[in-house]
Every structure is written in structure tokens, then in C-alpha cells.
């Protein structure tokens, strides 16, 4: 069988892999992107992934660069304010809140929130239009042999490909990471996140609210109105046994429990379209690079869904890869070192920030819950500290 040659092979056509593939194709590299999921038209329930993703402005700018943004804008809800609340008192109610307003640092908005089902399908449709991008849905990487001058990849249909650079975007259980023998550290919190969308009588006004109480944060993120109803995407983080109890409730009982946990800030919540639970973990690969290979997104780092950091960190990986490719030869040792150096510190800082917030939310002891409240009050009162936190959270340095 002949060996196909390409500049870049992207393993994984999730949101991060597709974005990397489009960004490199846009600047003229030949790219093959493979993913074992079936093509969009062959999938059953188009709204099966109930998650949504809050994209911060640096990520939105990357989507604009590949002309993807106009296609996604109709599905997007604006995020103007991120509100952090402490509801960890003895009574169920908000004890302290601090608003991070994009206007405080001269931005109209932090970003936009998009349901995952709309995101992935739109991205796949758009990726098919790039001349130098060969998208192979329904195909997986089976093996790889990476040498200093190129990487040889075999797909599950027997196709053999030689690439100057392999981008491993094949998720938290990355096969490429395993082939390269790169260990990863995993932290389990005994938590799960219940993901669902809900209708509510009060408008969200572009405010994303994180309510911290024992068990984990309860986060409401704006969705666009539909059929005249106000809607939000919700991630409810809780300890495993509590999640099992909540998942066993019928929709009406679950909606009532969610309304209570939300401190009723948007009025009674009515869950729509089902719910799913996701395990909450942190994971970090011990190296971001191997011969001719760069690890990005969840293949490199997984973090709890707090502060919209997960995929936005992944987009920052892609930006750093493009910059490193511009300064060095594609896939060269210098390029890969450059990439690893540019990303390691930022990834670690973001992971630590999310970890601290999650541990603070998990804590059961009342004195520690009161300490969390004091921390919020301090942040609310000190504008420079708050502005620094906003800029850091948005990935603006
Ligand atoms: C509840 C929840 C809410 C979240 N909310 C946000 C948010 O608001 N903002 C945010 O920034 N992040 C958020 N995240 C994180 C975000 O969803 C993840 O970072 C993102 O989905 C991971 O993208 P990925 O492309 O790395 O991985 P995946 O989406 O897992 O994609 C990996 C792909 O690799 C493919 N693959 C696997 N094996 C192979 C192989 N051998 N060959 C080829 N392909 C392969 C898989 O089929 C898959 O399509 C959230 C996460 C959760 C759990």
C-alpha cells in the first residue's frame, strides 16, 4: 500500500482537533484529520451532547480567523458578566457575591456560550470546505511510529500516512500519548457534573452565575431564548452518591431540586431535553511533546468545568502551536520545544486556579466555608485584584 504524505496529521476531530485542523489548513498546510465518530448525517439524536461551551473572546477571535464564527453566531448567547456566589451558609441562600464585568476591563463581553451539538456539527460542515484539509470521520489512528524526521501513522482502514507533525487531540484517554509512553497524573474528586438545559421565567441578562456550596459549584450559563422562553445551560457538580439520587428523580422533582439549589435566582427551573452526568477529574500529561508530536486539549490537560477554562485553554494550545510553527520548521524539535515552553506555565496556572475553586467549593467544614466567603468579599472589594482575575481568566495574561 502507498504511503500518503501530509504536513500535519490531527488525531481526533473533537472541537479542539477540528479547530487545530482548520487553523493550520487556513494558513496553507496540508492536513489530514481523523476521528472514529460517524459523520454527522449518520448519528442518531442530534442533541445527544447536552453540554454547552462558553468561549472566551481569544477563542472567538480564532473562530473568526477561519470564517467559522458567522455560522455559529445564531446559536450563541452573549456572556457579559460572570457572577461568583457563595451559598454555603446553614440556610440555603446567597451570602456573598462578586461580579466580574467584562466592561471593567474595556470589553463588551467575555465571550459567547454555544450548545455542543450545534458546535460540532457546524464545525464538521465547515471543515469540509477547506481545500488542504482532508477530514476522515469514521476512521481512527491505530498505530504510530515517530522518528526525528517524520511520523508514520497507520489508520484502522489500513491507510498509511507520513506526517511532519502529529497533533494529538484524541481526548483524555489519548492513544497517541500512550504510544509515546507519556505518563499523566489524574486527580479524582469523587464528584460528577450533571449537565442539562432549563427554561426559566426571569431573563439571565447575559450573566453567567456560579453558586458555590458544599458538593461543588452549580453553574448557570446563558443560552439564547427559544420560542419566547428564557434558557440556561446548567452544570450541577455534586458528590457521586448525591448525583445518583438526583439522576433517579423524575423531571418535575429534579427541576424542583435544581430550583432550590439555584437559590431561585431565575425563578422556577424547568429541565428540558434530558440530563447526563460526567465524571469530574483533573489530569495533566507529564510532557506536552514527543518526537514529531504535540499533545493538545484533553490529551494534554483535563480540568473541572469551572470558569470556562477547559476548551479555552485548548484553543490557547492551538494558538501557541501556530506561533511556534511560524518561528521554526513544522514538527522540528525546536518548534516542539518552543510550544512546550510557551504552554506549560499557563496550563499549570489555570489548572491550579480551577483546583483551588473546586476544593473551596467541595469543603464541608463551616469555618472553611466562611473563609471562602471572606475570600469572595475581598475579591469583590478590590478592583485591581478583580481586574487581574478577569484578565487571567480570559487568558489575556
Ligand atoms: C460538563 C462539562 C462542561 C464543560 N464546559 C466547558 C465550558 O463551558 N468551556 C470550556 O472551555 N470547556 C468546557 N468543558 C471542557 C470541554 O468540554 C472539553 O475541554 C472538550 O470537550 C474536550 O475537547 P477535546 O477535543 O480535547 O476532546 P474530545 O471532545 O473528547 O475529543 C477527542 C476526540 O478524539 C477522538 N479519538 C479518540 N481516539 C482516537 C483515535 N485513536 N484516533 C483518532 N481520534 C480519536 C474521539 O472520537 C473524540 O472525538 C466542559 C466539560 C464538561 C465535562
The domain that holds 294 is classified in CATH as 3.50.50.60
pLDDT of residue 357: 74
Measured distance CA(238)–CA(246) in Å, rounded: 9
Which residue has a Cα nearest atom 13 of ligand 1? 310
CB burial of residue 241 (10 Å; 0-12, 13-18, 19+): exposed
What total number of domains does the chain contain?
1
If you take atom 30 of ligand 1, which residue's CA is the nearest one? 171
Burial degree of 332 (CB within 10 A; 0-12, 13-18, 19+) = middle
Assess if residue 391 is contained within a domain.
Answer: no
Which atom of ligand 1 is least distant from the CA of 298? 26
Atom of ligand 1 nearest to the CA of 54: 8
User: What per-residue confidence (pLDDT) applies to 170?
Assistant: 98
Angle at 84 between CA 390 and CA 213, to 5 degrees: 140
Instruction: Give CA–CA dist 284/347, Å, rounded.
Output: 9
Q: What phi and psi, each to the nearest 5 degrees, are found at residue 168?
A: -85, 105
Of all protein residues, whose CA lies closest to atom 53 belonging to ligand 1?
278
Q: Which residues pair with 226 in a beta bridge?
A: 229
Predicted local distance difference test score (pLDDT) of residue 256: 97
**Tens digit of pLDDT for each residue in 149-164?**
999 999 999 999 999 9
User: Nearest-CA neighbor of 169 among 4, 280, 335, 302?
Assistant: 302
Predicted confidence (pLDDT) at residue 293 exceeds the cutoff of 70 = yes
Q: Is residue 249 part of a domain?
A: no
Could you count the other beta carbons within 10 Å of the beta carbon of residue 379?
Answer: 16
Residue-number span of the structural domain to which 120 is assigned: 3-47+116-186+283-358
CA-172 nearest atom, ligand 1: 30
Q: Which of 55-64, 222-231, 280-289, 343-352 has the lowest mean pLDDT?
A: 343-352
Atom of ligand 1 nearest to the CA of 35: 44
Ligand 1 site residues, Cβ closer than 6 angstroms: 11-17, 34-37, 51, 53-54, 140-141, 169-171, 175, 193, 195, 235, 278, 297-298, 305, 308, 310-312, 314
pLDDT the model gives residue 84: 86
- C-alpha atoms less than 13 angstroms from C-alpha of 279 in its C-beta half-sphere: 10
Rounded CA-CA distance 228/30 in Å is 45
Average pLDDT of the segment spanning 32-52: 73
pLDDT of the residue at 355: 78
Given a cut of 70, whether residue 206 has pLDDT beyond it is: yes
The average pLDDT across 127-155 equals 96
Closest among 285, 340, 315 to 56, alpha carbons compared: 315
How many A from CA of 93 to the centre of ligand 1?
Answer: 34
What's the pLDDT score for residue 199? Answer: 96
Within a domain: 386: no
Terminus-to-terminus CA distance in the chain, angstroms? Answer: 48
| Angle of the 366-381 helix axis to the 333-362 helix axis, nearest 10 | 120
Bridge partners of residue 136, in order along the sequence: 34
Tell which wins on pLDDT, 67 or 58. Answer: 67
All three cell numbers of 286, joined, read: 507529564
CB atoms within 10 A of CB 304: 27
Give residue 207 CA to ligand 1 midpoint distance, Å: 25
Which pLDDT tens digit goes with each residue over 166-196? Answer: 999 999 999 999 999 999 999 888 889 999 9
Which candidate, 350, 286, 354, places its Cα nearest to that of 315? 350
Residue 28 phi/psi, 5-degree rounding, is 100, 0
Query: In 10 A of CB 90, how many CB atoms?
Result: 8
Strands 31-35 and 133-137 turn out to be: parallel
pLDDT at 393 over 80: no
**Within a domain: residue 258?**
no
Q: Is residue 79 part of a domain?
A: no
- State pLDDT tens for residues 344-364: 988 988 888 777 777 776 666
Residue 134's DSSP bridge partners are 32
User: Ligand 1 centroid vs 309 CA: distance in angstroms?
Assistant: 13
* Residue spans of alpha helices (H) in 128-195: 175-179
- pLDDT, residue 39, reads 67
Asked if residue 13 lies in contact with residue 34, where contact means CB atoms within 8 angstroms, the answer is yes
Q: Report which DSSP code applies to 95.
A: -
pLDDT, position 23: 98
pLDDT of residue 300: 97
| CA-closest residue to ligand 1 atom 20 | 311
H/E run at residue 145: strand 141-146
For 104, counting Cβ atoms within 10 Å of its Cβ (0-12 exposed, 13-18 middle, 19+ buried), the class is middle
Q: Choose the weakest-confidence range: 43-52, 97-106, 207-216, 220-229.
A: 43-52
Average pLDDT over residues 276-295: 94
Residue nearest to atom 52 of ligand 1 (CA): 305
Residues of the chain above pLDDT 70, percent: 87
CB-CB contact of 390 with 105 (8 Å): yes
Q: Does an H or E element contain 241, and which?
A: helix 240-248
Q: What local confidence, expressed as pLDDT, does residue 96 receive?
A: 83
Count of CB atoms within 10 A of residue 246's CB?
19
In eight-state DSSP terms, residue 37 is: S
Question: Residue 101 phi/psi, 5° resolution?
Answer: -105, 125
Does the residue 327 lie in any domain? Answer: yes
What does the mean pLDDT of the chain come to?
Answer: 89
Q: Identify the band that residue 304 occupies on the pLDDT scale cut at 50, 70 and 90.
A: confident
- 41, part of any domain: yes
Query: Distance from the CA of 171 to the center of ligand 1, in angstroms?
Result: 6
Domain assignment of residue 390, yes or no = no
Amino acid at each position: 500500500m502507498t504511503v500518503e504524505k501530509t504536513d500535519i496529521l490531527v488525531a481526533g476531530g473533537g472541537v479542539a482537533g477540528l479547530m487545530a485542523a482548520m487553523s493550520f489548513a487556513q494558513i496553507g498546510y496540508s492536513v489530514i484529520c481523523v476521528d472514529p465518530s460517524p459523520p454527522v448525517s449518520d448519528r442518531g439524536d442530534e442533541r445527544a451532547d447536552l453540554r454547552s461551551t462558553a468561549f472566551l473572546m481569544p477563542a472567538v477571535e480564532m473562530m473568526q480567523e477561519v470564517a467559522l464564527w458567522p455560522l455559529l453566531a445564531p446559536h450563541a448567547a452573549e456572556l457579559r458578566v460572570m457572577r461568583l456566589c457563595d451559598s454555603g451558609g446553614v440556610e440555603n441562600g446567597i451570602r456573598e457575591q462578586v461580579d466580574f464585568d467584562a466592561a471593567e476591563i474595556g470589553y463588551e463581553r467575555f465571550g459567547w456560550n454555544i450548545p455542543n451539538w450545534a458546535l460540532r456539527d457546524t464545525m464538521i460542515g465547515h471543515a469540509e470546505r477547506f481545500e488542504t484539509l482532508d477530514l476522515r470521520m469514521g476512521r481512527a489512528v491505530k498505530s504510530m511510529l515517530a522518528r526525528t524526521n517524520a511520523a508514520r501513522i497507520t489508520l484502522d482502514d489500513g491507510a498509511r500516512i507520513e506526517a511532519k507533525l502529529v497533533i494529538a487531540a484524541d481526548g483524555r484517554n489519548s492513544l497517541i500519548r500512550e504510544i509515546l509512553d507519556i505518563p499523566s497524573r489524574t486527580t479524582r474528586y469523587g464528584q460528577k457534573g450533571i449537565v442539562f438545559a432549563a427554561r426559566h421565567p426571569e431573563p439571565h441578562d447575559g450573566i453567567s452565575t456560579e453558586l458555590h456550596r458544599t458538593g461543588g459549584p452549580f453553574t448557570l450559563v446563558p443560552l439564547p431564548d427559544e420560542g419566547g422562553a428564557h434558557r440556561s445551560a446548567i452544570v450541577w457538580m455534586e458528590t457521586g452518591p448525591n448525583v445518583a439520587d438526583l439522576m433517579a428523580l423524575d423531571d418535575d422533582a429534579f427541576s424542583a431540586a435544581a430550583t432550590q439549589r439555584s437559590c431561585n435566582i431565575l425563578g422556577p427551573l424547568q429541565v428540558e431535553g434530558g440530563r447526563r452526568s460526567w465524571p469530574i477529574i483533573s489530569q495533566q500529561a507529564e510532557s506536552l511533546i514527543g518526537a514529531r508530536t504535540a499533545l493538545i486539549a484533553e490529551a494534554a490537560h483535563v480540568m473541572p468545568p469551572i470558569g470556562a477554562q477547559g476548551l479555552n485553554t485548548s484553543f490557547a494550545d492551538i494558538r501557541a502551536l501556530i506561533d511556534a510553527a511560524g518561528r521554526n520548521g513544522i514538527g522540528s524539535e525546536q518548534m516542539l520545544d518552543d510550544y512546550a515552553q510557551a504552554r506549560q506555565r499557563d496550563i499549570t496556572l489555570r489548572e491550579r486556579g480551577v483546583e483551588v475553586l473546586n476544593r473551596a467549593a467541595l469543603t464541608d467544614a463551616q469555618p472553611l466555608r466562611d473563609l471562602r466567603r471572606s475570600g469572595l468579599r475581598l475579591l469583590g472589594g478590590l478592583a485591581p485584584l478583580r481586574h487581574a482575575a478577569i484578565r487571567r481568566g480570559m487568558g489575556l495574561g
